[in-house]
Amino acid sequence: MPATELPEAASSERDDEDPRTTIRAPRAEDGAAVLNLIERCPPLDQNSAYCYLLQCSQFADTSAIAEMGGKIVGFISGHRLPNDPDSLFIWQVAVAEEARGQGLGREMMLGILRRPTSTGFTHLLATATDDNTSSKGMFQSLANVLDTNMGQSLLFDQNIHFAGAHESEILLTIGPFSAQTEKGRTAA
């Protein structure tokens, strides 16, 4: 696979009148707005306000916020796996209804991969329930842009791990790729 370069990241400057979507790293003060966004995005599992404060502060390098007109319309939480530092695990992706269908989830993930702190990632991992076709489609779209494959395998079984209270979670594995590559771009 020839080396290619990721496009420039979206502007990170805030302008409450600007209708463009910008992608940036989260800050602790975004925690309450992220919780509000998650509440508006069923069937996402809701975590505590404290959890989102931690994600927005302690995991800011591997998470993303999307803003449109000064309003948070997207959030991704992710982290580098301690036992596999070449892998980025995406925990949760939320996109407000008014911003859906524009590839925003994929663009937030690419925004994370473009960061200097993302050097060394060769795989992206996430989970989705088997019937979550929109999430699986988004991750497949990312694999296509990165010119790599997406594999699927059972990670957490409905009966064994969730005692029947939650659907099975399927592990989606995208890679290998270079954090500095994207299909259709030529390296300098």
Report the candidate in 83, 37, 81 with the shortest Cα–Cα distance to residue 56: 37
Query: For the segment 110-163, what is each residue's pLDDT rounded down to a tens digit?
Result: 999 999 988 889 999 999 999 999 999 999 999 999 999 999 999 999 999 999
Domains annotated on the chain, with CATH: 21-174 (3.40.630.30)
pLDDT category at 11 given cuts 50, 70, 90 is very low
Query: For the segment 12-22, what is each residue's pLDDT rounded down to a tens digit?
Result: 444 445 578 99
CB-based contacts of 67, cutoff 8 Å, min separation 6: 14, 21, 22, 23, 24, 73
Alpha-helical (H) ranges within the chain are: 31-39, 49-58, 104-114, 133-145
